[in-house]
Amino acid sequence: MGRGMASTVCENDGLNMAWIIEVNNPIRGTDQSGKEFWPRVLKGWLDLLRGESGAACRENRDLDAMGKQWGNIVAGVVEFLDPSCRRASPSRRASRRTPT
């Protein structure tokens, strides 16, 4: 169970849009490390949501909170994928298990 504020539909839409804008950036695009990419997405996300209700609370969100929310969004999308489209790799949970 999370300890922070639940994300709204508006926030999720803003996060998706910030990701799309940054990926489609003709100068940087996908040719950048995660250490450069995600802070730009966070900045874009906060810029897109400025002026929406609850903006003061949102300003306190950091990369960690945004990353967790992005993970929730991706997990929700993956649920709707055809099983043949899913990556055929073991789950992260299974890879963390220690051999017995």
Higher pLDDT, 20 or 9: 20
39's CB contacts (< 8 A; 6+ apart) are: 63
The single residue listed with the structure tokens 């802070």 is: 39
Tens of pLDDT, residue by residue over 11-51, are 888 899 999 998 888 777 666 777 888 899 999 988 888 87
What percent of the chain is predicted at pLDDT more than 70?
A: 66
Domain spans, the chain? 9-96
Confidence of residue 5 (pLDDT cuts 50, 70, 90): low
User: pTM above the 0.85 mark?
Assistant: no
Give the DSSP H or E segment for 93. Answer: helix 92-96
Predicted pLDDT of residue 17: 92
